Structure 1
Amino acid sequence: MPQPIFKIVARLEWQAARSAGAYEGATVDLTDGFIHFSTAGQVEETASRHFAGQRDLLLVAVDPDRLGEALKFEPSRGGALFPHLYAALPFSAVLWEKELPETADGGHDFTGLLV
Structure 2
Amino acid sequence: MTIYKILRPAEWAALQSAGVTPGAPVDVADGYVHFSTAEQLAETAARHFAGEDGLMLLAVEDAALGDALRWEPSRGGALFPHLYRELRLSDVVWARPMPLDGGAHRLPALT
TM-score category, normalised to shorter length: over 0.9
Alpha-carbon RMSD = 1.0
**Equivalent position of 1:114 in the other structure:** 110
Q: Specify which of 43, 46, 56 is matched with residue 45 of structure 1.
A: 43
Name the count of aligned residue pairs: 111
More helix by share: 2
When the two structures are superposed, what TM-score results if normalisation uses the length of structure 1? 0.92
Q: How does 1:30-69 map to 2 (within 5 A)?
A: 30-69=28-67
Q: How does 1:1-115 map to 2 (within 5 A)?
A: 3-104=1-102, 106-110=103-107, 112-115=108-111
Q: Secondary structure at the match of 1:42?
A: helix
When the two structures are superposed, what TM-score results if normalisation uses the length of structure 2? 0.95
Do the aligned partners of 2:60 and 2:92 also contact (CA within 8 Å) in 1? Answer: yes
Q: Secondary structure at the match of 1:29?
A: helix
Q: Is there any run of 5+ residues in structure 1 with no aligned partner, and where?
A: none
More strand by share: 2
Question: How far apart are residue 21 of structure 1 and its match?
Answer: 1.6
**Percent of aligned pairs with the same residue?**
52
Question: How far apart are residue 47 of structure 1 and its match?
Answer: 0.4
